[in-house]
Amino acid sequence: MPVIRALFIIDVQNDFTEGGALGVEGGEAVAAGITRYLAEHPHRYDQVFASRDWHDADNDNGGHFATTNAPDFVTTWPVHCVAGTIGADYHASLNTSAVTVGVRKGQGRPAYSIFEGVTDEGEPLTQRLVDLGVEEIDVVGIATDYCVLASALDAVATGRMVRVLDDLVAGVAPVSSALALEQLAAAGVQVERSS
């Protein structure tokens, strides 16, 4: 039987790309790169999951938003990716036509890993992976040192084969992004180019 392979596109949203509330350098290039990659390999993936931070507007999302003190950019952050706002939308350079499963995370609480989210239909991600028979996962998106890291670590912990495509990710900072890729490799994630 053929192996069922999925692509995880992590948080390629306006607020995480240049000009956004928490924009990272290279975010727009990652959005365009993922679009190009999917166009060049239309049959590589059986399923394409795309996650979005989808935070509540009327609370601090479990302390995730810095509302009384300045953000520390470790556990507290400026307001970002509020549900239904332009900042929470996918970046325009990301063609989402190949996306088969949308995932929303951070609804009222901190959430970094795609596994902390639910599908747009409200189903836990782990259950959807089981239902679809997904055995291998490639991970791309933003940010290397936070949500990509957390998502790939959780994916490999499920016992699946996991790759991070390091030319299709962008991080908050170069040092922490390099350390994140080292941590992923040590955990058994394959870190390689998309080509």
Which CATH number belongs to the domain containing residue 160 in this structure? 3.40.50.850
pLDDT tens figures, 43-93: 999 999 999 999 999 899 998 999 888 988 888 999 999 999 999 999 999
Looking at residue 38, its pLDDT comes to 98
Q: Is 93 helix (H, G, I), strand (E, B) or coil?
A: coil
**Residues 20-57 pLDDT 10s:** 999 999 999 999 999 999 999 999 999 999 999 999 99
11 is catalytic: yes
Per the residue annotation, which of 11, 15, 53, 138 is the catalytic one? 11
3-state SS, residue 129: helix
Write down the pTM of the prediction: 0.96
Does 60 qualify as catalytic in the annotation? Answer: no
Average pLDDT over residues 167-187: 97
Query: Catalytic: which of 15, 138, 145, 147?
Result: 147
- Give pLDDT, residue 133: 97
pLDDT of residue 143: 97
CA distances from 1 to 4, 43, 137, 163 (A): 9, 16, 17, 21
Per-residue pLDDT, 165: 98
Report helix, strand and coil shares of the chain as percent, to nearest 5: 30, 25, 45
- Interval 132-138 mean pLDDT: 98
User: Considering 15, 53, 105, 138, which one is annotated as catalytic?
Assistant: 105
Domain extent at residue 171? 5-192
> How many domains would you assign to the chain?
1
Q: Answer yes or no: 81 catalytic.
A: no
